[in-house]
Amino acid sequence: MTRCPEQILADLREVIAALDRRLPQLDRVGETQIAADAAQLKSDAEARIAVLTQAIARDRAMPR
């Protein structure tokens, strides 16, 4: 199943929103690593959004 870049962007933004809503529970075992992994996932999603946004803009700028 092929998904359009706009849908992928929406999904990535949803992931970021979910990560932003999550409150670390530092009293839980492993929470420090979970929080670090979540921060890395958010950073990766933001980087992917930047790449996709540039690709979409480039595609729209090309004459058809």
Query: Which residue ranges make up each domain of the chain?
Result: 5-61
Write the CA distances from 62 to 2, 49, 57, integer angstroms: 22, 20, 9
For residue 26, the model assigns a pLDDT of 82
The reported pTM is 0.84
Write the CA distances from 10 to 24, 25, 26, 38, 39, integer angstroms: 24, 27, 30, 18, 19
Which pLDDT tens digit goes with each residue over 21-64? Answer: 999 888 999 999 999 999 999 999 999 999 999 999 998 888 87
